[in-house]
């Protein structure tokens, strides 16, 4: 549909376009340049940060993926931060996805339009609370409050096979898990709004057909809505994952700042954006280059995830229009 | 449709009452989903307002930043307020015209061409680049050569605002009916004139609203400012040279300070920052409501 409108879209007549005044052409060039700026910036990010990080890559070689991080001794292995980034992002996704997809389905399938709008506004409020305010609240209010709960949970499951190694001691208010929870709050708005967009494209006639066959609402959701919007929801979740990986300041404040690799989710840890934010100011030489290198890795990961996610969302939107 | 059928057949064989109760349970869970989000949001807003309001006053917003050890009723966050306003304004002035022009290229000139589709796609991808990476980027290309400055911070924030403005403006240009463009062409107007005097004014409300939301998000960003403006406690009205400070960077410093006074000023700064962001968001809503001519 959009292809049609774009082709039909008014264009100046042929004879006019042959003697276009210079101002008209100049404006087109200006607009093109502004558009190209996006590509230029993305390439420049890769080149400039890559260049700054080159001494880390060349000095450490494959040791950049080792687990020993000790700037004082000149050891810059990034595995602990990669691990922390993965763990916190996964915790955030596990918490945020059911909540976000549930809210999206509530908005599209259950409540009437006039109720949906205030709920959307409230979810959007979450996105306006700045990262640093989540961090301030996280470290001064939330972390001390959950510390007791963590401690109780930790001593409760101590010695139990799987639970013990996940939630057992050592526990700390500032930990992987706290960072994951805060990140979950922060990515909920984007996952909700994208899932809602996707779920809203399910043709009403398909749903009505299922209801006419006597299906309950749950059956309509499972049999019609979810199969139809699967691809788009996966895209939305991936976008949330990308956000969770790159979110910096909140994580920097509540993650506990300890470069360790452990299965204990309630123990203090570190992730890539947090270590950059906390250490970059004092870093020089290979140390700075290593932190810059972490930024390069973060850039590469988030670009890959975003490209896959956007492609999934776009494909699902195109299919919905075609259907 | 075929897939929908198979999913249903299975469920229809189960007893009727169980199907109904499963449906009830699912509905209750769906209703609970936004409540799970509301609780922390309410908790955060309540804490920020309760702890921030006791510190907030006109002199708090304008006085100098005292040493962290001093109690919360001494001094204020004046330099940070000034820095945030200056840097965000400069970033807006740089990024918004470029973003609107980029969107004009995407929708008015590029159409369905591969280059325009690539730029549109990459603008989407760019919104997902972590803000800390933008900070590192500006550090590499600007700060290393020209030193810390408000300008460098504005560049970093501008990089965050740009793709958001491109995408939201592009969406708004799509809503402008083609009959407006065709009518102007029929009168002999050039494409640039049609775009600037007919299409843009028609989409203005939506564009302004998108811009305000982008600014609201950018004003709260800390990560891109850490290595571009540094964080100092002195006031620096000169945007173009020397280290500066901002509300988010000041909150970040105060949040990790072990002194009650610094933390108190942190809550006050957080309330100020949230108030700025909410004001911008409400302004965006009002603008949308006022100009909602072509949206549906």
What is the value of ipTM here, to two decimals?
Answer: 0.90
Chain B partners within 8 Å of A44 (Cβ): 137, 141
Residue that wins the pLDDT comparison between B205 and B3? B205
What's the confidence (pLDDT) of residue A166?
85
3-state secondary structure of B15: coil
3-state secondary structure of A211: helix
Structure tokens given for A12: 């100046």
pTM of the model as a whole: 0.90
Chain A partners within 8 Å of B116 (Cβ): 35
Tens digit of each residue's pLDDT (9 = 90 or more) over B59-68: 999 999 998 8
Is the distance from CB of A30 to CB of A50 less than 8 angstroms? Answer: no
Among B265, B205, B215, B243, residue whose Cα is nearest residue B61: B265
Average pLDDT for B249-254: 93
Torsion of CA A248, A250, A256, A261, to 10 degrees: -40
Between helices A204-212 and B2-12, what is the axis angle to 10°? 30
Is the distance from CB of B246 to CB of B77 less than 8 angstroms? Answer: no
Q: For residue A3, what pLDDT band results from cuts at 50, 70 and 90?
A: very low
Q: For residue A5, what pLDDT band results from cuts at 50, 70 and 90?
A: very low
Tens digit of each residue's pLDDT (9 = 90 or more) over A44-83: 999 999 999 998 988 888 888 888 888 888 889 899 999 9
Q: Where are the alpha helices (DSSP H) in chain A?
A: 2-8, 14-18, 22-60, 79-105, 113-128, 131-137, 143-157, 161-167, 176-200, 204-212, 217-220, 226-246, 249-254, 272-279, 285-322
3-state secondary structure of B96: helix
How crowded is residue B89: how many other Cβ atoms within 10 Å of its Cβ?
14
Where residue A285 falls (left for φ over 0; alpha for ψ -120 to 50; beta otherwise) is left
Q: By the CB < 8 Å criterion, does A307 face chain B? A: yes
What's the confidence (pLDDT) of residue B3?
46
Do A295 and B133 make contact, defined as CB atoms within 8 angstroms?
A: yes
Q: Looking at the predicted structure, is the pLDDT value of residue A2 above 60?
A: no
Q: Looking at the predicted structure, is the pLDDT value of residue B2 above 50?
A: no
Mean pLDDT rounded to a whole number for chain A: 88
Spatial separation of the C-alpha atoms in residues A124 and A185, rounded to whole Å: 11
Tens digit of each residue's pLDDT (9 = 90 or more) over A28-47: 999 999 999 999 999 999 99
Tens digit of each residue's pLDDT (9 = 90 or more) over B101-159: 999 999 999 888 999 999 999 999 999 999 999 999 999 999 999 999 999 999 999 99
Chain B partners within 8 Å of A215 (Cβ): 8, 11-12
Q: Which of 6-25 (A) contact B at CB < 8 A?
A: 6-13, 16, 20-21, 23-24
Q: Looking at the predicted structure, is the pLDDT value of residue B77 above 50?
A: yes
Q: Which residue of A has its CA nearest to B213?
A: A128
Q: Looking at the predicted structure, is the pLDDT value of residue B166 above 90?
A: yes
Spatial separation of the C-alpha atoms in residues B268 and A55, rounded to whole Å: 42
Chain B partners within 8 Å of A120 (Cβ): none
Cross-strand pairs, A57? none
Cα A41 from chain centre:
21
Q: For residue B75, what pLDDT band results from cuts at 50, 70 and 90?
A: confident
Question: Could you please report the per-residue DSSP string of B140-200?
Answer: IIIIHHH-S-HHHHHHHHHHHHHHHHHHHHHHHHHHS-HHHHHHHHHTT--HHHHIIIIIH
Chain A partners within 8 Å of B266 (Cβ): 136, 140
What's the confidence (pLDDT) of residue A1?
41
Tens digit of each residue's pLDDT (9 = 90 or more) over A202-224: 899 999 999 999 899 999 999 99
Spatial separation of the C-alpha atoms in residues A313 and A255, rounded to whole Å: 31
Question: What is the helix (H) or strand (E) element at residue A75, kind and residue range?
Answer: strand A75-76
Spatial separation of the C-alpha atoms in residues B119 and B96, rounded to whole Å: 17
Spatial separation of the C-alpha atoms in residues B232 and A185, rounded to whole Å: 30
Q: Where are the alpha helices (DSSP H) in A247-284?
A: 249-254, 272-279
Spatial separation of the C-alpha atoms in residues B136 and A283, rounded to whole Å: 13
Cross-strand pairs, B47? none
Spatial separation of the C-alpha atoms in residues A103 and B33, rounded to whole Å: 5
Do B130 and A273 make contact, defined as CB atoms within 8 angstroms?
A: yes
Structure tokens given for B167: 């995408």
Spatial separation of the C-alpha atoms in residues B217 and B197, rounded to whole Å: 29
Spatial separation of the C-alpha atoms in residues B118 and B124, rounded to whole Å: 10
**Residue entry with tokens 């988030």:** A302
Q: What residues contact residue B201 under an 8 Å CB cut-off, 6+ apart?
A: none
Do A129 and B162 make contact, defined as CB atoms within 8 angstroms?
A: no
Is the distance from CB of B212 to CB of B164 less than 8 angstroms? Answer: no
Q: Which residue of B has its CA nearest to A250?
A: B252
Q: What residues contact residue B237 under an 8 Å CB cut-off, 6+ apart?
A: B82, B86
Q: Say which range, B210-224, B263-277, B279-293, has the weakest mean pLDDT.
A: B279-293
Tens digit of each residue's pLDDT (9 = 90 or more) over A85-133: 999 999 999 999 999 999 999 999 998 888 888 888 888 888 889 999 9
Tens digit of each residue's pLDDT (9 = 90 or more) over A240-284: 999 999 999 999 999 998 888 988 899 999 999 999 999 998 888
Q: Looking at the predicted structure, is the pLDDT value of residue A4 above 60?
A: no
Is the distance from CB of B245 to CB of B80 less than 8 angstroms? Answer: yes
Residue that wins the pLDDT comparison between B40 and A13? B40
Average pLDDT for A288-302: 94
Is the distance from CB of A46 to CB of B123 less than 8 angstroms? Answer: no
Structure tokens given for A123: 């979810």
Shortest Cα–Cα distance, B183 to chain A (Å): 9
Q: Looking at the predicted structure, is the pLDDT value of residue B208 above 70?
A: yes
What's the confidence (pLDDT) of residue B108?
92
């Amino acid at each position: 549909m959009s292809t049609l409108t774009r082709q039909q879209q008014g264009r100046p007549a042929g004879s006019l376009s042959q003697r276009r005044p210079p101002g008209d052409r100049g404006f087109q060039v200006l607009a093109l340049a502004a558009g190209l700026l996006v590509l230029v910036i993305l390439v420049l990010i890769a080149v400039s940060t890559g260049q700054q990080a080159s001494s880390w890559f060349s000095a450490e070689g494959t040791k950049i993926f080792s687990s020993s991080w000790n700037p004082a001794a000149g050891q810059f292995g990034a595995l602990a931060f990669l691990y922390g980034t993965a763990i916190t992002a996964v915790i955030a996704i596990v918490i945020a996805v059911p909540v976000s997809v549930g809210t999206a389905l509530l908005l599209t399938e259950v409540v009437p339009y006039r109720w949906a709008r205030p709920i959307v506004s409230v979810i959007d409020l979450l996105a306006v609370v700045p990262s640093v305010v989540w961090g301030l609240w996280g470290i001064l209010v939330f972390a001390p409050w959950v510390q007791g709960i963590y401690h109780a949970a930790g001593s409760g499951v101590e010695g139990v096979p799987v639970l013990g190694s996940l939630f057992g001691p050592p526990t700390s208010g500032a930990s992987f898990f706290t960072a994951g929870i805060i990140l979950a709050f922060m990515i909920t708005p984007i996952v909700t709004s994208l899932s809602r967009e996707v779920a809203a494209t399910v043709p009403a006639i398909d749903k009505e057909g299922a209801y006419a066959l006597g299906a309950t609402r749950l059956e309509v959701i499972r049999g019609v809505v979810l199969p139809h919007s699967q691809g788009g929801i996966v895209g939305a979740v991936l976008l949330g994952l990308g956000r969770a990986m790159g979110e910096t300041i909140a994580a920097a404040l509540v993650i506990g700042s300890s470069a360790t690799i452990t299965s204990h989710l309630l123990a203090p840890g570190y992730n890539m954006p947090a270590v950059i934010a906390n250490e970059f100011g004092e870093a020089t030489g290979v140390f700075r280059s290593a932190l810059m290198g972490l930024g390069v890795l973060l850039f590469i990961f988030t670009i890959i995830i975003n490209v896959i996610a956007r492609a999934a969302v776009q494909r699902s939107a195109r299919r919905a229009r075609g259907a | 449709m075929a897939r929908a059928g198979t999913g249903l057949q299975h469920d229809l064989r189960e007893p009727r009452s169980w199907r109904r109760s499963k449906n009830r349970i699912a509905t209750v869970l769906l209703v609970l989903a936004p409540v799970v989000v509301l609780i922390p949001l309410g908790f955060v807003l309540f804490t920020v307002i309760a702890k921030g309001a006791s510190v907030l006053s006109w002199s708090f917003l304008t006085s100098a930043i005292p040493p962290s050890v001093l109690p919360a009723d001494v001094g204020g966050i004046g330099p940070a307020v000034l820095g945030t306003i200056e840097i965000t304004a400069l970033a807006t002035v740089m990024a918004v015209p470029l973003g609107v022009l980029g969107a004009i290229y995407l929708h008015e000139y590029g159409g369905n061409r591969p280059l325009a589709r690539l730029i549109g796609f990459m603008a989407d991808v760019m919104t997902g680049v972590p803000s800390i990476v933008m900070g590192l980027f500006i550090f590499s290309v600007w700060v290393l050569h020209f030193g810390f400055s408000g300008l460098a911070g504005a560049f970093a924030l501008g990089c965050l605002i740009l793709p958001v403005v491109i995408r939201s403006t592009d969406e708004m240009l799509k809503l402008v009916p083609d009959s407006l463009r065709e009518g102007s062409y029929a009168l002999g107007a050039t494409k640039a004139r049609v775009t600037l005097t007919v299409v843009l004014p028609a989409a203005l409300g939506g564009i302004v609203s998108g811009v305000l939301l982008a600014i609201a998000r950018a004003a709260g960003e800390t990560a891109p400012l850490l290595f571009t403006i540094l964080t100092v406690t002195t006031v620096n009205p000169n945007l173009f040279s020397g280290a500066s400070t901002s509300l988010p960077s000041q909150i970040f410093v105060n949040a990790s300070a072990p002194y009650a006074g610094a933390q108190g000023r942190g809550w006050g700064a957080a309330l100020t920052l949230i108030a700025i962001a909410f004001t911008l968001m409400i302004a965006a809503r009002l603008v949308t409501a006022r100009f909602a001519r072509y949206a549906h």
